């Protein structure tokens, strides 16, 4: 038995925590009892194991927050946003900061209203995920005003040279090239792209990557390549509608701007009495949690969520700490994950 703040932890529980953390029971005991001689990384690993196993942390191990950091995301119905938020929150917590999650929903608080609320509460900084910075039609002066209020911030997904801040982005152009190349290697000659509205920077980059790949790999003209792009909503319903239009154009493969859109595309294919991948191949984008367990498992482009989220927090905290993070875009390479929703072009 090892005495800790809220009571006792039995040897059996110690062994569970040690196994989960990959350390010795003696190390777990030292951490739980607040003893010296344990590295910060190991200490954090043990605390994470404690959390995963559902044990309450001893009172003496509960850290005082170094400050609040706002995290503003779009709606959480798309699993990629909770995935990003979770990693950002974990990294912030490791640095002693308390994340404040603010979610935008249709009819709810606007980005500006959420920013005002966070600033009033004295946040140390703000992380924006797919916010108005990604919208080429939005007024980006709002971010200059935030800088003027001496609130550090970092922006994920969507770059603007009008905003002086660190940007974190996946390489959307490379992602689309990977998807098209994969489908061309499977023999597909007519490939469509279902994607969101043109005013968003990630969408524009996806279109650039897609059309360049179709021109070079399939010998199409620019006009022909652009004719294979269908704009819709980033949702299951949007993917369903776009897939219908692309199937009418004779496409045997569809690349989608998100995994949710890809699920809608698969539904549209099945409603026509066709199957994936035997008749139509579908590629998603994000590699959202649980997407590997769909039927068929979805071939998709994986966003490097952990690397992007960690870089975003590191850049933000560098500024919070008085440093000066580089006012530039940090581009992260995506990865093609081949599963069961793509196959050879039907003859």
pLDDT, tens only, 118-131: 999 999 999 999 99
Decide yes or no: CATH 3.40.50.2300 for domain 172-303.
yes
CATH numeric code, 2-61: 1.10.260.40
Q: Measuring CA to CA, which residue among 204, 211, 267, 256 is closest to residue 234?
A: 256
pLDDT at 65: 60
pLDDT at 1: 30
222, two tokens: 């620019």
Residue 94: pLDDT over 90 = no
What is the C-alpha separation between 256 and 251, in angstroms, rounded? 13
pLDDT at 8: 46
| Angle at alpha carbon of residue 228, lines to 271 and 220, rounded to 5° | 135
Q: Measuring CA to CA, which residue among 325, 302, 303, 304 is closest to residue 313?
A: 325
pTM for the whole structure: 0.83
pLDDT exceeding 70 applies to what percent of the chain? Answer: 94
Interval 199-217 mean pLDDT: 97
pLDDT at 3: 34
Least trusted range by pLDDT, from 3-12, 142-151, 157-166, 180-189: 3-12
- Tell me which of 3.40.309.10, 3.90.1150.10, 2.60.120.260, 3.40.50.2300 is the CATH number of domain 67-170+304-332: 3.40.50.2300
CA distances from 293 to 171, 172, 286, 287 (A): 25, 24, 14, 11
Could you tell me the residue ranges of all domains in the chain?
A: 2-61, 67-170+304-332, 172-303
pLDDT, tens only, 218-275: 999 999 999 999 999 989 999 999 999 999 999 999 999 999 999 999 999 999 999 9
Contact between residue 166 and residue 328 where contact means Cβ atoms under 8 Å apart:
yes
pLDDT, tens only, 269-304: 999 999 999 999 999 999 998 888 999 999 999 999
């Amino acid at each position: 038995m090892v005495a800790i703040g809220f009571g006792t932890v039995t040897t059996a529980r110690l062994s569970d925590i040690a196994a989960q953390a990959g350390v010795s029971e003696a190390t777990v005991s030292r951490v739980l009892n607040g003893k010296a001689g344990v590295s910060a990384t190991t200490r954090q690993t043990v605390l994470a194991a404690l959390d995963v196993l559902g044990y309450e942390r001893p009172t003496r191990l509960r850290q005082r927050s170094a400050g609040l950091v706002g995290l503003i995301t779009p709606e959480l119905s798309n699993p990629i946003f909770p995935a990003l938020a979770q990693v950002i929150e974990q990294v912030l917590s490791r640095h002693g900061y308390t994340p404040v999650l603010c979610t935008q929903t249709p009819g709810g608080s606007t980005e500006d209203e959420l920013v005002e609320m966070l600033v009033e509460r004295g946040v140390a900084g703000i992380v924006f995920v797919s916010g108005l910075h990604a919208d080429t039609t939005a007024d980006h002066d709002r971010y200059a005003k935030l800088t003027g209020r001496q609130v550090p911030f970092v922006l994920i997904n969507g770059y603007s040279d009008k905003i002086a801040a660190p940007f974190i982005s996946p390489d959307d152009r490379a992602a689309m090239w990977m998807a098209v190349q994969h489908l061309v290697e499977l023999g597909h000659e007519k490939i469509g792209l279902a994607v969101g509205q043109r005013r968003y920077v990630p969408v524009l980059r996806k279109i650039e990557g897609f059309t360049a790949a179709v021109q070079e790999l399939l010998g199409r003209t620019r006009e022909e390549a652009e004719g294979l792009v269908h704009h819709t909503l980033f949702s299951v319903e949007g993917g369903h509608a776009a897939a219908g239009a692309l199937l009418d154009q004779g496409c045997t493969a569809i690349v989608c701007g998100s995994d949710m859109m890809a699920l809608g595309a698969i539904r549209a294919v099945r409603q026509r009495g066709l199957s994936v991948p035997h008749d139509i191949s579908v590629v998603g984008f994000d590699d959202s949690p649980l997407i590997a367990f769909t039927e068929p498992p979805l071939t998709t482009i994986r966003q490097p969520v952990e690397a992007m989220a960690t870089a975003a927090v590191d850049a933000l905290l560098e500024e919070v700490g008085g440093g000066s993070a580089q006012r530039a875009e940090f581009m992260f390479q995506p990865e093609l994950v081949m599963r069961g929703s793509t196959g050879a072009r039907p003859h």
